Amino acid sequence: MRRETFRSGVFTRRALLLMGGQAAVLGTLAARLYQVQVVEGARFATLANENRISARMIAPPRGRVLDRFGVVLGGSRINWRALLISEQATDVGATLDAFSRIVPLTDYERARIDREIHRYRRFIPVMVREFLSWQDMAAIEVNAPDLPGILVDVGTTRIYPFGEHLAHVVGYVAPPNEADVADDPLLALPGLRIGRAGMEKYHDLALRGRPGAVQLEVNAVGRVIRELDRQEGLQGDDVGLTIDSGLQQEVLNILGDESASAVVMDCHNGEVLAMATNPGFDPSVFNAGVSQAQWGEWTRDRRTPLINKATSGLYAPGSTFKMAVALAGLESKAITINDRIDCPGYLDLGDTRFHCWRKGGHGMLDLRGGLKNSCDVYFYEVAHRTGIDKVAAMSNHLGLGVELELDLPGQRRGLIPTREWRMGKGHAWNIGDTIVSGIGQGFIQVTPLQLATYTARLASGRLVQPHLTRSLGGVLQPGTLPDDWPALDLPDRALHMVREGMWSVVNEQGGTAPLAKLPDTRWQMAGKTGSAQVRRVSREMRESGTFDSAKLPWEYRPHALFVAFAPFDAPRYALAVVIEHGNAGAAAAAPMARDIMTVTLRRDPANRTDQPTEKLAAAGP
């Protein structure tokens, strides 16, 4: 009996201990359950949703580039693409191998994908292939179970409706490189492009916009079930240019197959209405990547299609420089308007003879006659009397050899030499250098855009600056009114005589550019020819009587130039044309300038608000 009582006591204590242990465990579980469901319920609900919902940023639509009439020069279209999210792929290599059997990938593409997978975080989508066809997308979707981590997405790609006609102005976009992404991680977003040249580069930040986001419901293995929400990014600002796309095409048609450039400017406000460079290139190629074969073709072309000749091409201005020399002489009082200089066909300085282009000379000439006949001896003498430093100062004031306030990357400054510059090169300046500078040769180098700006300043009497941005985000930019630009601060009489000389070049009998005369009698154009040698012509070659630069190999022929403004009585448009190795400005550049100015006056883009739609008559006489 006592044993039974003892056993009962032991059993009761064990039961109590067991019940106590169970109670402690259940209490702990209850406390933990309370902690999870009540105290931290909201946090765990959020984590559960985060496991179920995948949020990704998406590239914003890029803003458009428009011409002055709203015509799209750079826009976007739908682009279907395949992306890879490496954290959702059990074996990235196997996934890419399976993808390659459906849509073949090159070794270069595989290497790029591998680099980006290691560069970015595992949740950031990596571009596998863009520009998918409908057949490619269908094949990828059918084989989706064998492609873990691969998803088909829709984005945008950049298009350029005018192709090579505006490539140097509009520029192009390309994928960001490692340095770009290091500066801004948002650039790692698939499909995002950045401006690499032209206005795409200059206004890149405004054009980019702000990224959007998409929420996707995924299952336990990360497979997308459906799209829950999409907030498109904020589209970038539209950039309105001063360019008239119709005029641009007309100018390029006139330039034809020549390696050449032409710039048309509004004399009143500096708006660039056309900036043509020939040949051009297809800017859309850079969007997907340039092949080695294509790059080799471009770099081997001696006409340099990748260079914007209007802003980066450097040329001796030749006789188009003579107006700057004349104004420098007048400003410094080295000459007067009525001074007459004798041209016997040459100027002797010591043992050196400097020839005029006309072998028998021009006789006695005043300023107007010097410009009309483009007499070299007249301007040799003016430069000699004036001095190179004063010629350089006036040239810079007129927009030559200086960095213009241009909203387009890549412009070159050119050079108007001075004594100080020459001494900095370790050489002394000599009088002979001044003499040849008087006709725009020697060390002088300028761009076609500088020549157009120079002509616009001569015509308007204002310090206009060339610019290509007319509006940004729909807001008109400063610089569209004549009063926005200060006066040139040169005597009206001097400017008037220079303009008169340019008028006589084109319109008066004996002028050097009769082929530039406008066929429409409503308007008259003032201009100046120029031929710039690219190699020295020796005395023996000159005196042989058989020398003909037109028979030289193309790369040794002189450049042909022409600058002009019109209408003469109320200047509105300035123009510069440079034909590489065109030989003679009067024969090659002047007729093209005539045709370009005729088209410009008929379209009259500066005074219209709508895109001209009528078919233009032939510009020639």
Residues 408 and 468 in one domain: yes
Active site residue 76: no
* pLDDT over 90 percentage in the chain: 55
What's residue 621's pLDDT?
Answer: 32
Q: Which residue has the higher pLDDT, 432 or 80?
A: 432
434 and 421 in a common domain: yes
Joined tokens for residue 476 = 């008109």
359 and 332 in one domain?
A: yes
Show the domain range for 15: 2-39
Q: Residue 305: is its pLDDT beyond 70?
A: yes
Average pLDDT on 254-281 reads: 96
* Statement to judge: residues 316 and 352 lie in one domain: yes
> Distance (Å, rounded) from C-alpha 528 to C-alpha 373?
10
One domain, residues 360 and 391: yes
Give pLDDT, residue 619. Answer: 37
Q: Given CA atoms 531, 535, 538, 541 in this order, what sign does their dihedral have?
A: negative
Is 616 part of any domain?
no
Q: What is the pLDDT of residue 53?
A: 66
123 & 232 share domain: yes
176-196 per-position pLDDT tens digit: 887 887 778 778 777 788 999
Residue 104 falls inside a structural domain = yes
Q: Considering its fold, how many domains does the chain have in total?
A: 3
d(CA 127, CA 188): 10
Residue 599 within any structural domain of the chain: yes
Q: Do residue 183 and residue 258 come from a single domain?
A: no
What's residue 575's pLDDT?
98
Q: Round the average pLDDT of the chain to a whole number and report it.
A: 86
Is residue 228 located within the same domain as residue 272? Answer: no
What are the pLDDT digits (tens) for 21-50? Answer: 777 677 777 766 666 566 555 655 554 555
> How far is residue 320 from each of residues 366, 391, 452, 578, 594, measured CA to CA in Å?
18, 14, 11, 11, 16
Q: Give 3-state DSSP helix, strand, coil % of the chain, rounded to 5.
A: 45, 20, 35
Q: Helix (H, G, I), strand (E, B), or coil: what is residue 142?
A: helix
| Residue 305 counted as domain residue | no
Instruction: Residue 352: count other Cβ atoms within 10 Å of its Cβ.
Output: 12
Which range among 186-195, 387-396, 498-507, 531-540 shows the weakest confidence by mean pLDDT?
Answer: 531-540
- Rounded to an integer, the average pLDDT of 484-501 is 93
256: which residues sit within 8 A by CB, 6+ positions away?
278
227 vs 365, which has greater pLDDT? 365
Which segment of 205-214, 296-305, 611-620 scores lowest on mean pLDDT?
611-620
pTM (2 d.p.): 0.81
Q: Is residue 300 in a domain?
A: no
Assess if residue 477 is contained within a domain.
yes
**Is 531:318 a contact under the CB 8 Å cutoff?**
yes
> Do 222 and 357 share a domain, yes or no?
no
Q: Kindly state the percentage of the chain with pLDDT values over 70.
A: 86
Q: Give the three-class secondary structure for 333.
A: coil
- Among 103-107, 157-161, 593-597, the range with the most confident prediction by mean pLDDT is 593-597
Question: Is residue 186 assigned to a domain?
Answer: yes
Token pair belonging to 506: 């084109």
Q: Which residue has the higher pLDDT, 85 or 540?
A: 85
Residues 508, 576 within the same domain? yes
Per-residue pLDDT at 397 exceeds 80: yes
Q: Is 90 exceeded by the pLDDT of residue 563?
A: yes
Q: Which two tokens stand for residue 472?
A: 């940004």
Q: Are residues 24 and 101 in the same domain?
A: no
Q: Give me the catalytic one of 319, 460, 471, 504.
A: 319
